[in-house]
Structure 1
């Protein structure tokens, strides 16, 4: 038997935890299934569902829900197999979805998109593969812990509108993103406000 962190046949593939968050889903779960020759296509033994909160990240979803749920589910599945009571429920392949491995090419922040889509992409890539953007000159910057507010403020999407000790506010298309943690290229993750002061980031600067 095998564990998969989605409600099969949805989100087949190796990045089954990233994509539901990136797509803005509010529910996901896990499946324990009988492997066959296909990718995540075998009959299901059991499934458990869980909520995706509006501020959940890949990390919080895994460590707070899917990992502990998975431990319990595998124990339950092993017990069912041992008792000869484990079902084999065929998946409805007509409902299947598959997404590619979530890599750097999927993690670039699309500042021009609506605010919620930007926020969902950052959440779904935190901590891996890590959402990223660039500054003037092409310097790459990873963007991690953040919060979205629905405030409408003047400026272009991707523009810095405030710099505070605990982070920086970036104008979005329909909201404001408060970024609390960033990772400069080739360096470790740091407080976004401290990084902004160190590199001399100014209000009006724009990420691309």
Structure 2
């Protein structure tokens, strides 16, 4: 605290940091503003980029707001919107928002410097979506979900922390991570979760189609493309994902 006071800053900027004590964010003459990677008030919380993709959003963005007593609820200053592409993953979206956010921070600072900043209170509605902290439970793939939801979860958790599931293959029971996959919409009679493999392709039966896996990681192994995996790992005819 004393080190912060010694800086005698007239404005503080926060990006991707934990909740600050009131004594800290009230310290500067012009207050403290935060850059958040969502279109607030939606996706307040720890993982806004991930959850926007997991929930199948087609747009997101960045917001600046003055910090107050609660998490990501302060009066908004500026917002910029961006499209989420159909095959976008969390890593690529993060990089786009990083550049968009840096520009928005500069615009916000200039408004404050010029004394022309205006704020808008965040509207509280019942349908606000939350960016919950990611954990092992909410990163697990539910193969009974729709093909869209599974695809979105894989995209939204790639490259970190990655969507995971359990592979049952003969005597093996392995927790694996899936980093990218494509949708194949087709009617079939295979059991949900059944693994279908050829020399060049690995896919999992889901409702109304298959998820064709592109990049995967087995325990103790590096992340690899499926063709490389199939060169050295054999799947039984009754292998399945749980």
For Structure 1 versus Structure 2, the TM-score category normalised by the shorter chain is over 0.9
CA distance in 2, matches of 1:99, 1:62: 15
Is 1:143 matched up with 2:178?
yes
Question: Which segment drifts farther, 41-50 or 98-107?
Answer: 98-107
Instruction: Give the gaps of 5 or more residues in structure 1.
Output: none
Listed one character per residue, the Cα deviations across residues 119-178 of structure 1 (whole Å, up to 9, x for unaligned) are: 11111111122101111243111001211121223311221223343x412221112211
Give the one of 1, 5, 8 matched to 2:40.
8
Listed one character per residue, the Cα deviations across residues 63-104 of structure 1 (whole Å, up to 9, x for unaligned) are: 2x2111111111111111111112121111235432320222
- Equivalent positions of 1:169-208 (< 5 A) are 169-208=203-242
What is aligned with 1:75? Answer: 106
What is aligned with 2:56? Answer: 24
> 1:203: Cα distance to partner?
4.4
CA contact (8 A) 1:31 1:46 kept: yes
- Equivalent positions of 1:87-102 (< 5 A) are 87-94=118-125, 96-102=128-134
* 4+ long deviations beyond 4 Å: none
What is aligned with 1:34? Answer: 66
RMSD of aligned Cα (Å): 1.6
What is aligned with 2:21? Answer: none
Give the one of 184, 188, 193 matched to 1:158.
193
CA distance in 2, matches of 1:206, 1:109: 13
Give the one of 91, 102, 111 matched to 1:59.
91
Q: TM-score when scaled to structure 2? A: 0.80
More strand by share: 2
In the comparison of the two structures, how many residue pairs are matched?
Answer: 206
CA distance in 1, matches of 2:182, 2:237: 19
CA distance in 2, matches of 1:152, 1:55: 22
CA distance in 2, matches of 1:111, 1:162: 17
Q: Secondary structure at the match of 2:159?
A: coil
> Greater relative contact order (Cα 8 A, min sep 6): structure 1 or 2?
1
CA distance in 2, matches of 1:48, 1:79: 16
CA distance in 2, matches of 1:164, 1:21: 31
Q: Secondary structure at the match of 1:41?
A: coil
CA contact (8 A) 1:44 1:89 kept: yes
CA contact (8 A) 1:152 1:176 kept: no
